Amino acid sequence: MTDAQRKLSATEVAEAGLTGWRQAGETLVATFRTRKFSTGLELVNRIGASAEEANHHPDLTLTYPEVGVTLSSHDVGGITSRDIDLARTISGHAADLGVATAE
């Protein structure tokens, strides 16, 4: 998964082993149960900083008590290694904050 411009197959996405993420069509989706709005806001801020650094921006929904994240590489019309990498980073931020996915 080294070509950031290559759309990944469903098998490649599954083989990435992303815990708490699921493929929905041409996107990766996860919901993080933050339990508190302030924790959700902190997670969104961390995601935003990482997204800016990677120049790859997810769709985010902040509600009480969850943060919804949708990743897709719009330029290729599907999931790429950029999405896998950012999903791992986002999961790391959630783990640091003690936040679990809503699997």
Residue 57, by phi and psi: left (phi above 0), alpha (psi -120 to 50) or beta? beta
How many angstroms separate the CA atoms of 54 and 48, rounded? 10
Instruction: Quickly tell me which residue has 């719009």 as its tokens.
Output: 74
What pLDDT is attached to residue 2?
A: 65
Helix (H, G, I), strand (E, B) or coil at 27: strand
Q: Token digits for 6?
A: 């290559």
What pLDDT is attached to residue 1?
A: 47
Whether 91 and 19 have beta carbons less than 8 Å apart is answered as: yes
Q: What is the pLDDT along the chain (103 residues), one digit of tens a residue?
A: 468 889 999 999 999 999 999 999 999 999 999 999 999 999 999 999 999 999 999 999 999 999 999 999 999 999 999 999 999 999 999 999 999 999 7
